[in-house]
């Protein structure tokens, strides 16, 4: 059986499906990223899944993936915040067409970790949903697909995913990355590394 066939079979068989999406999925590197998200939506529909992404371009929010099952802890450029962080307000795209903070007059900026003072309230409700969901994966057949997550912000996906896999005896992980597919000892026997661009891999899945 090829890795592709194996993954498809495990998607069908798992009770819980955790997906991590990282740097390789940035729209600037992948103009047709929307089609990959639609492919994902088709592959995992009807599954009990959760997606964590560190990508901040907001493309995933435009997809048909169930938005209540995803969290973007590094934020989202299409949501706007005050560049001086004078308030915790976050505005939807186009809500403030002038792109100026209505409270202090400072320019607006993307609500992401790149902001001088990142207003984390944007993702916290979904983060809570994620941690609750994750707590429910213990003792369940958990499949983890980590797609293109490198070392830019390893505390968000990479290291916590390794921990979740090491704690769950029914977990299995695929780490797919063009450069950084290596696995630590802690997940030995429970994880497979695929040294290939995760977007290319996913396109062929």
For binding to Zn ion (CB under 5 A), which residues are involved? Answer: 82, 84, 86, 101, 103-104, 106
From its phi and psi, is residue 124 left (phi > 0), alpha (psi between -120 and 50) or beta? alpha
Of 80 and 172, nearer to Zn ion (C-beta) is 80
CB 103, min distance to Zn ion, A: 4
Question: Which residues are bridge partners to 111 per DSSP?
Answer: 76
CB 106, min distance to Zn ion, A: 5
Token pair of 34 as six digits? 């929307």
Of 33 and 108, nearer to Zn ion (C-beta) is 108
Of 86 and 193, nearer to Zn ion (C-beta) is 86
Long-range Cβ contact pairs of 85-93 (< 8 A, separation 24 or more): 85/115, 85/116, 85/117, 85/119, 88/119, 88/121, 90/119, 90/121, 90/122, 93/58
CB 95, min distance to Zn ion, A: 14
Of 86 and 138, nearer to Zn ion (C-beta) is 86
The 10 Å Cβ neighbour count of residue 48 is: 15
CB 101, min distance to Zn ion, A: 3
């Amino acid at each position: 059986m090829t890795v592709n066939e194996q993954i498809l079979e495990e998607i069908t068989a798992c009770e819980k499906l955790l997906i991590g999406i990282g740097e390789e999925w940035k729209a600037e590197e992948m103009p047709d990223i929307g089609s990959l998200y639609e492919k994902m939506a088709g592959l995992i529909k009807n599954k009990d899944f959760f997606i964590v992404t560190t990508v901040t371009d907001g493309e995933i929010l435009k997809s048909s993936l169930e938005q209540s099952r995803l969290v973007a802890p590094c934020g989202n450029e299409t949501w706007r915040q005050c560049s001086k962080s004078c308030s915790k307000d976050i505005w939807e795209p186009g809500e403030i067409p002038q792109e100026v903070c209505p409270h202090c007059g400072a320019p607006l900026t993307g609500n992401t970790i790149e902001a001088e003072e990142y207003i984390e309230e944007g993702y916290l409700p979904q983060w809570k949903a994620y941690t609750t969901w994750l707590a429910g994966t213990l003792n369940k057949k958990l499949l983890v697909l980590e797609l293109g997550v490198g070392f830019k912000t390893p505390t968000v996906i990479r290291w916590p995913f390794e921990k979740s896999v090491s704690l769950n005896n029914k977990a299995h992980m695929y780490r797919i990355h063009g450069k950084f597919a290596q696995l630590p000892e802690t997940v030995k026997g429970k994880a497979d590394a695929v040294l290939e661009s995760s977007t290319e891999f996913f396109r062929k899945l």
